C-alpha cells in the first residue's frame, strides 16, 4: 500500500475567531469538490482516483484531506509553483478556475486561505484579499470537424452553405463559389462536410466554420457488412477474460 499523507486548507477570518462550527455544510461541500477537481481534473481522473478521506479540525478551520503521498506531492508542487510564479496561467483551465474561486471567496468574505501539506512545514500558497491572480482561460479551440446532415441552402452573395445537423442544429458554413458549383446540386440531400472552425469550451457550440470539402454520405443499411463486422469482432472478444469489466471501462460521461 502506498504511503499516505495529507493536504490541508486552513481558513481564517480577519477577526481570528473562525471555528469549524461556523462553516456551513454548503461551503464544506464546495471545498471538498474543489479540492477533488484540483487534484483530479478530468472525469476519468475522478473515476480512477484513490480513496480520499476528509476531516475538519480547529485552529481556525482546517480542512484536511488524507490521501496517497503521490497526490500530496502533486498538490505541494502545484501550489508552490503558483506561489513562485505569482501566476496561475500555467495551469489547465479547470485548476485555474479553482484557484480563482478561492481568490474570489477570500476577497468577498475577508478570509486568509493557506495551503499546507504533510511534507511541508510552511504554507506553500497563501490567498487573501491582496491576491490578484489573473484568470487566463481560453474560450474556444480551433479544429477540424466532420458534420453530417441535410443541406437546406447553398449559394448567396457571400458563398455559404446551410446544413441541419442532429448534434448542433442549423449551421452556416462559409465556402467558395467553386466549392458550391462543383459537382451535383446538394440542396435537400443528406451530406457530410469537413470543416474548420472554433468550438466553445463553455457550451460546446461550434462557429466561424469554413468548408474544406464535401464528404459523400450514403446512410444505407448493409446487413452483410454488419454480420461480417460482428464475426470479426467476436474473435477478439473471446480473448477478453472479463468482458463485463472491459465494457464498463469503455463507458465515459463525455465532455
* pLDDT one-digit tens code per residue, 142-178: 899 999 999 999 888 899 999 999 989 999 999 999 9
User: pLDDT tens for residues 184-238?
Assistant: 888 888 889 999 999 887 678 899 999 999 987 666 666 776 677 777 777 666 6
Q: Please give the pLDDT value at position 237.
A: 67
Q: 218 — phi, psi (to 5°)? A: -125, 95
State yes or no: pLDDT of 104 exceeds 90: yes
Share of the chain above pLDDT 70, in %: 88
Rounded CA separation 36/53 (Å): 11
Q: Match 454488419 to its residue by C-alpha cell.
A: 226
Q: Please give the pLDDT value at position 254.
A: 41
**Eight-class DSSP state of 157:** T
Q: Please give the pLDDT value at position 207.
A: 94
User: pLDDT tens for residues 109-146?
Assistant: 999 999 999 998 799 999 999 999 998 777 788 899 99
Q: What is the mean pLDDT of residues 5-11?
A: 97
Rounded CA separation 90/188 (Å): 47
State yes or no: pLDDT of 15 exceeds 70: yes
Rounded CA separation 42/40 (Å): 6
Q: What is the mean pLDDT of residues 7-29?
A: 94
Q: What is the mean pLDDT of residues 26-42?
A: 95
With bands split at pLDDT 50, 70 and 90, how would you rate the model's confidence at 252? very low
Q: Please give the pLDDT value at position 185.
A: 84
Residues in the chain, overall count: 255
What are residue 147's DSSP bridge partners?
193
**Eight-class DSSP state of 135:** P
Q: Match 500558497 to its residue by C-alpha cell.
A: 125
Tally Cβ neighbours within 10 Å of residue 103. Answer: 19
State yes or no: pLDDT of 100 exceeds 90: yes
Q: Please give the pLDDT value at position 255.
A: 37
Q: What is the mean pLDDT of residues 40-51?
A: 92
| Exposure letters 16-31 (e unless 16+ CB within 10 A, then b) | eebebeeeeeeeeeeb
Rounded CA separation 111/148 (Å): 52
Answer whether 0.85 is exceeded by the pTM: no
Q: Please give the pLDDT value at position 128.
A: 95
Cα–chain center distance at 117: 26
**Eight-class DSSP state of 252:** -
* Mean pLDDT, the chain, whole residue set: 88
Rounded CA separation 32/30 (Å): 6
Rounded CA separation 209/205 (Å): 11
Amino acid at each position: 500500500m502506498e504511503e499516505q499523507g495529507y493536504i490541508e486548507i486552513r481558513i481564517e477570518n480577519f477577526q481570528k475567531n473562525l471555528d469549524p462550527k461556523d462553516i456551513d455544510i454548503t461551503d464544506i461541500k464546495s471545498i471538498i469538490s474543489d479540492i477533488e477537481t484540483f487534484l483530479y481534473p478530468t472525469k476519468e481522473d475522478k473515476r480512477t482516483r484513490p480513496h480520499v478521506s476528509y476531516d475538519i479540525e480547529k485552529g481556525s478551520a482546517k480542512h484536511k484531506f488524507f490521501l496517497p503521498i503521490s497526490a500530496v506531492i502533486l498538490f505541494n508542487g502545484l501550489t508552490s509553483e503558483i506561489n513562485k510564479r505569482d501566476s496561475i496561467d500555467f495551469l489547465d483551465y479547470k485548476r485555474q478556475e479553482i484557484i480563482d474561486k478561492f481568490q474570489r471567496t477570500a476577497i468577498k468574505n475577508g478570509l486568509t486561505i493557506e495551503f499546507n501539506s504533510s511534507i511541508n512545514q510552511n504554507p506553500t500558497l497563501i490567498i487573501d484579499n491582496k491576491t490578484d491572480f489573473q484568470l487566463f482561460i481560453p474560450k474556444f479551440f480551433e479544429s477540424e470537424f466532420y458534420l453530417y446532415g441535410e443541406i437546406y441552402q447553398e449559394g448567396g452573395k457571400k458563398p455559404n452553405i446551410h446544413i441541419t445537423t442532429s448534434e448542433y442544429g442549423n449551421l452556416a458554413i462559409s465556402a467558395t463559389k467553386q466549392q458550391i458549383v462543383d459537382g451535383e446540386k446538394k440542396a435537400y440531400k443528406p451530406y457530410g462536410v469537413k470543416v474548420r472552425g472554433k468550438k466553445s469550451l463553455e457550451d460546446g457550440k461550434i462557429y466561424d466554420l469554413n468548408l474544406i470539402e464535401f464528404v459523400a454520405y450514403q446512410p444505407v443499411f448493409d446487413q452483410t457488412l454488419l454480420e461480417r463486422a460482428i464475426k470479426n469482432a467476436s474473435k477478439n472478444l473471446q480473448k477478453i477474460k472479463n468482458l463485463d469489466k472491459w465494457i464498463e471501462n469503455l463507458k465515459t460521461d463525455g465532455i
